[in-house]
Structure 1
Amino acid sequence: MIQLVLARHAKSDWVDESLDDHDRPLNDRGRRDAPAMARSVLRHGVRPEVLLSSTALRARTTAEAFGDEFEVEVTERAELYLAAPDTLLEAARTSGAAEVMVVAHDPGLSALVSRLADSDVRMVTAAVAIFTWHEGEWPDVGVVPPDEFELLTP
């Protein structure tokens, strides 16, 4: 079984315009939504064994909320910051695990989710897409349609 969980970071704070994009924190809504979405993923019976995150503050903070709920360490990957769809998928494929979560950014995340779901999917902040292949290996992901797809939104 392969399970790929793709999450867009929670809502970020734009109050301090002097901050570099990479350093923007979550706003109040984002700090509420991230742990709530993590609990929602757990209620769906999903608990990834590997949790990868962009190095951007808003993504790291979102991933940490998921990691706390899943009791999994967060692994930061610089290449996930504003990554293209193929980069996001390759990070999951090379993680060494069958159940992987990636926390990253749009537009790459929506593009990857849309491609894997074979439909136009807009990943709002804190949205989580869960893909499951009951048979096969990582090379099948992106080639063979998933057996299950679920989109969770705050």
Structure 2
Amino acid sequence: MTKYLTLLRHGEAEHGYGQSGDFKRKLTRDGKYKLQRLANVLKERKVEFDLLLKSPATRTVETAGIIRDAVLSHEDREEGVLYLAETDDIIKVLNKLSDDIHKVMVVGHNPGISALLSFLTNEYQISLSPGMMAVVELHADKWELGLTRGMGTLQEILQ
């Protein structure tokens, strides 16, 4: 069965300084507003995920919360390695998933989240802005096989 990977860059966040300041950055009012608009579209479409993975940073937790309130997610999990993760780190997390899981959303950070999108789809002109979401269809029934260069087809981008 085909796998679907939804990549969501966290919403617009306030400015922060230093490593601890970056980790604790909260969403701005505008960031929350735009995410709520996205959440309304997802709710209207009755979007569902088997698993929602997120970075533990404040802005990604807040982003995931807004989306989770609008969609059905069977499991919600924080993964510490997703904080400012590179493409390889995100792939390692996804490769550990059970193949019984078919629809996954990852809420993360740039540049890793956009780099993963480019890697999977060979679409190199796309850089996800804050609050932007991309849906990728992976042409494999196992996560390990689907998470290789060019194995995905970009289905949709929403913001």
Per the shorter chain, which TM-score range? 0.7 to 0.9
What secondary structure sits across from 1:34 in the alignment?
Answer: helix
Q: Could you tell me which runs of 5 or more consecutive residues in structure 1 were left unpaired when the two chains were aligned.
A: none
Paired position in structure 2 for 1:133: 138
Identify the residue that residue 110 of structure 2 maps to in structure 1. Answer: 106
Q: Deviations over 1:23-76 (max 9, x none)?
A: 000001111122222333345564211001000000000011111111335311
Displacement, 1:130? Answer: 0.3
How far, CA to CA, are the matches of 2:135 and 2:31 in structure 1? 20
Residue 42 to residue 116, structure 1, CA distance change in 2 (3 Å): farther
Query: How many angstroms apart in 2 are the aligned matches of 1:9 and 1:64?
Result: 11
Q: CA, structure 1 residues 17+145, in 2 after alignment: closer, same or farther (shift >3 Å)?
A: closer
Q: Give the superposition deviation at 1:107.
A: 0.5
**Aligned match of 1:12:** 13
Matches within 5 A, 1:86-97: 86-96=88-98, 97=101
Q: Secondary structure at the match of 1:4?
A: strand
- Structure 2 gaps of 5+ residues are none
CA deviation after TM superposition for structure 1 residue 119, in Å: 1.4
Q: Which residue of 1 aligns with 2:33?
A: 32
Superposition pairs for residues 41-56 of structure 1, below 5 Å? 41-43=42-44, 46-56=47-57
- CA distance 1:40–1:140, change in 2 (3 Å): farther
Deviations along 1:97-146, whole A, 9 cap, x unmatched?
22110000001111111111211211000111101236532122233633
Which residue of structure 2 aligns with residue 75 of structure 1? Answer: 77
Residue 77 of structure 1 and its aligned partner are, at CA, apart by: 0.9
Where has structure 1 moved over 3 Å in runs of 4 or more?
16-19, 41-46
**Quick one: structure 1 residues 133 and 43, their matched pair in 2 at CA, closer, same or farther if it must change by over 3 Å?**
farther
The 1:25/1:141 distance shift into structure 2, 3 A limit, reads same
TM-score by length of 1: 0.86
- Equivalences for residues 56-75 of structure 1 within 5 A: 56-72=57-73, 73-75=75-77
